[in-house]
Structure 1
Amino acid sequence: MSDALDDIAELEALRRQAEDLSQRLAAGEREAAESSARDSREAVRVSLGRDGHIASVEVFPQWRRQLAAGQLGAAIVEAAEEAARRRSEAWAHGVAHSVSGEVREPAPDADPTVASTREPVDDSAVDYARNLLYVLRDSYARLDDLESETEQAALSQTTASDPDGRVRVTLDGERLSAVSVDHVWLRSASAVHLGAATTQALQQAYANRKEAVPLRRSWPYNELERITADPAQLLANLGLAPRQIRRSD
């Protein structure tokens, strides 16, 4: 009898640890969800998406009063580096804030129709765990190939341009290292068009990098990435954290 009670206590402790981990990760993701920064001369602003990639580049209308034409690219790189630094700090702060035990207010954009409830582990959780085990087993079987391919991609440079070829960007691994703008077009281009063209060039560069790692986009790694994309949901699907349910109106 005592052994059974010990097992139940251990399972409950594991559940609490998983819930705590889920809360920490969710707090970190909330803090880092929308990171942005400007360059030191307040000429441009770079915003990052949830994946840490640059989602948009905004060039302010008065940028020509702050920078020489040839300095625009360096300003964008500077802002991107600062945005990445802030994102890392925000994620760490979110995790630490959650760990400290302080009560967090719901995020402003939180869906009020979503509620949490604890449910016992059921057959669906067992099936989910079994599927995850198969994916992990197949992933480990090809891990050496993936590691080699990923290392090559991380060390490589990726360059891309906007559709009109007016802005060219360079990524060193995932880091933006250079931005160059056609000097003739730069003379007459509006700030809005400069930002839009740079954003388009970056989107193409990220797409090119993804193409450079074909193994990662194939089974089982594409499935593993889908399953683990949301850590909180992963724990819930495994029956180790509260499930998210939606109340009817």
Structure 2
Amino acid sequence: MAESVPVRCPACRREHAYTAPTFPCACGTPLALPILRGGVPLQIRHRSWDDSWVAMRCPDCGRDDQWPQPELGCDCGAVVRLPVDTRALRAPERRPVPPVRQTGPGPLAAAPRPPFRPVTIRTARDAVTAAAQYLKWLGFAGVRTAGDRSANGIDLRGDGVVAQVDPTTRPTPLRDVETLWLNCLNEDSTGAFFSLAGYAHDARLRADRLGVPLFVMDLTGTPQPVNDAADALIRTGPHATP
């Protein structure tokens, strides 16, 4: 499996343990981009799509492909790009998932969620699709694209949930977070915000006070929680309190 490496956020100097996500090659080999130890992480202020991909060759089939540059969402709201050691690409070992067994009489315990299957983000539409898939993975039913985003800023709706997705290259501003919160109040729904470039400092603070779940997404399409409300939403899914 991919190795965990320490990463220090260049914005707030907080240290994190980071493990690169694993994705299958077209031949089926699971691959994880190796992080360059001792490399200098870079805070993303203006995202360039061309600079967000790394050319890698699969060690099993020799296929050359483009892989999303590893990124980390810090608790301070910064999105950090991690340097890749292109000379040390290796395929992680497969780990079988043990089956859930009934240990005695009575109802079975709730089965854990299966691994989330991300949607690689290359366009703004991909970002919305990735967020929709994540909400479905959390357990929300009926997740669909909202009809008229210009009316209230909502990108996704589901049974008891509304969500906004910011696919731009600038940190999400305070006003967008407040707009989502107002929509949650009006619709009596749980909210979730997904951003590619992280959040402005005041937006993060207001989200914490209002209990708005914030997620950042890298180009692999894997959302990461950046506040306590997002952590709670992951734990409880549709049972979270709006």
For normalisation by structure 2, the TM-score amounts to 0.27
Question: Which has the higher relative contact order, 1 or 2, with Cα contacts under 8 A spaced 6 or more apart?
Answer: 1
Larger relative strand fraction: 2
Larger Rg: 1
